Amino acid sequence: MKTRISILALLLAAGVLPTAHAFSLEHLTQQLGGAYSSVQPPAAQPAQAAPGGSASSGGMNAAVAALSSGEVDQGLKTALSRGADIAVKELGRENGFYGNAKWRIPLPPAIEKASGLMRMAGMGAQADQLDLAINRAAEAAVPEAKTLLVNAVKTMSVQDAKGILTGGDEAATDYFKRKTEAPLTQKFLPIVTRATDQVGLAQTYNRFAGQAAQFGLVKADQASIQSYVTQQALDRLYQAIGEQEKAIRADPVGTGSKLLGKVFGAALGQ
């Protein structure tokens, strides 16, 4: 007969959760602080100037100034649409996350820490179930981003376009993030919730992380499986868009588009 061991007990055994008898804010801080230190996002890297794109570069400025507003506007909209479309197609399909080590969303650190004990206790299947569920949730949510990304492109002003053209390698990606992160969070959350609600381990995590958040040990976007997966999915989506943007900037002629070659070639001082 298979012995049933609660997930909560495993988390306690792993040292992730404090025991009820020894509960105190200080003890909770000691137990959880380490588990969640790795959850904190890395410090933002300073934006790098586009190759040949320094504001002091007279040649680049002259080349960009020679472009018509229509060329800049249409060129940037073409580039943004292309980058967003490729990123959504890459991630928003079966195994776009789960089957790709580069994009796969890991289990939250607290669960990952206890996963070894779970497997020893014959509960590895629950961790695997959650691992699959959170990545499938992200794959289902990403296609919902396409409409908002397209609208962000359509509503981009000429001033926005010129700022993006002469900005850093990820100026367009930063523009997308400013315009779409808040509404995409709202679109992703219910999709992620439906995909994870039936997973018992997700519910246990939510109770634990929710308590930790009350003491300021967990950020709001990490206080539940739903918020964790939503933010992880968005971060990867913007990263994928950023990679497409860098590729276009580095080799605009290689895109096969004369307009992109002309517009981004001017930004490169070519």
69 has pLDDT over 70: yes
Given a contact cutoff of 8 angstroms between Cβ atoms, the answer to whether 58 and 246 are in contact is: no
How confident is the model over 2-58, as pLDDT tens digits? 434 444 444 444 444 444 433 333 443 344 444 444 444 444 454 444 444 443 444
Given a contact cutoff of 8 angstroms between Cβ atoms, the answer to whether 79 and 260 are in contact is: yes
Of the pLDDT bands very low, low, confident and very high (cuts 50, 70, 90), residue 61 is low
Whole-angstrom distance, CA of residue 13 vs CA of residue 20 = 13
How confident is the model over 121-165, as pLDDT tens digits? 777 788 889 899 999 999 999 999 999 999 999 999 988 888 888
Instruction: Decide: residue 49, CB within 10 A, 0-12 exposed, 13-18 middle, 19+ buried.
Output: middle
Provide the whole-model pTM: 0.74
